[in-house]
Structure 1
Amino acid sequence: MIHSTALIDPAARLADDVEVGPFTVIGPDVEVGAGSRIGPHVVIKGPTVLGERTRVFQFASVGEDCQDKKYAGEPTRLVMGDDNVIREGATLHRGTVQDRGETTIGSRNLFMAYVHVGHDCVIGNDCILANQVTLAGHVHLGDFVILGGLSAIHQFCHFGAHAMAGGGSIITKDTPAYVMINGNPAQVHGLNLVGLRRRGFSNEALRALGEAYKLVYRQGLTVAQALTEIRARFSLPETEAFATSIEASTRGIVR
């Protein structure tokens, strides 16, 4: 299941059933979990951990040295969970010692063609990054995030769970959970109601989130006033997650 032209360092640790295509290069300190399939012309550099059933398509570069000019060869890491799909030409970089020293990616994520994940990013579970999405260093994505093709996120930005960005969005501020944004610069366009309904959010939660959204974006309140009102009116975990994602912002939220 390992092609004769693949170059695999003896220090790499691959599960017994891992498939590796022709002309792929896997370096030392790389661990690949069971059931994974690595396509042709892939480069994986360590320290990197790929979980079970990872699928990597041709010409992807996984675990490469980051592009931060401060990087001086330190042994930083890329760690990914299970069932991730990395499509053609995607580039996923390791961390830096100036941050966590690790780029961390959860499970069941889809990285479409030519996606770039910069150093020290933290990505949750079940995210979809469409073609040519670019994450600068230190970006955090929550669970179930969807980023449209050609969208880009500025370094240190946080993008909340279940939020969605339309194609070509330029995102320079933090995005609260559950909202939809689009444009350059990105602006908010309501809640991601279609996505929330598909994921089984209750009508009660959707109504409460709608009211909470209006408090932040429609009532002319300051962020602090809106958060106080949300917590006074609602006690649902969904509204608290919405408020917390706003409260945690250090770059200001998308408006």
Structure 2
Amino acid sequence: MDTVEIPEVVLNSGHKMPAIALGTAGSASPSAEQLTPLFVEAIAAGYRHLDTAAVYLTEEIVGQAVAEALRRGLIKSRDELFITTKLWCADADHDLVLPALKESLRHGRVLSDGVGQVYWCQQRSKLSTLLQNATIPPAVNQVELNVAWQQQKLIEFCKDKGIHVCALSPLGGAYGSINTVMESPILKDVAAARNKTVAQVALRWVREQGATPIARSFDRERMRQNLQIFDWELTDEEVAKMQQIPEQKANTGKEFVSPEGPYKSLEELWDGEI
């Protein structure tokens, strides 16, 4: 199998991060026995950035895949990989953060060279508050970003502050009966005209926003196809057409809204930015 060379982005920390990640989330994920060889094959294909999270229950599986990739000589050292994990909201209390991150490290040795993130920082107002108090600014902000939720104001804010954006759900997602991204007639037309897949067009759009897409697929062929986004560009006309795609905000965080909680409406949760 030919290995694709993946470009890198330089973070404000000085670290280099591969410009596409393999997502490991999924409510109907295959078993560990199935996932480990899939992740190993992804590394063989060229993925050098793996995105996991405590809530995904794949940290340990990623660690097993890394060990197998080392054993097979697919990589010479762990330092060749960039692995992201995410702290779940329930562990965001001051006294819980460090133990939770240490647990992630124990599960899969996933933080030795990568990024640890805290869920839910999509609002510019909350990012501004964080930046006012942080002695070390965040290097990466991972948010839902795709052609159906284009997040232009947030992208500009992060760019101005030197924060790189990672795109969660760049291909949309199964949050409703219709996936506005993968079923978009506009994307299908562009893909057909360019001899690309719809996913490749959607991922290329994210790339051209200056963001890093996190492409989740447990299909071997699609995993390889999703890497083929770096040697071509969308035209201005194609990008203009994509601006017309109906907005579909999938994960709005409605599960965090409660009459008894700190956020009693989506407007409060999003500080009016939704």
TM-score after normalising by structure 2: 0.24
**Which of structures 1 and 2 has the larger relative contact order (alpha carbons within 8 angstroms, sep 6+)?**
2
Which protein has the larger Cα radius of gyration, Structure 1 or Structure 2? Answer: 1
Higher strand share: 1
TM-score after normalising by structure 1: 0.25
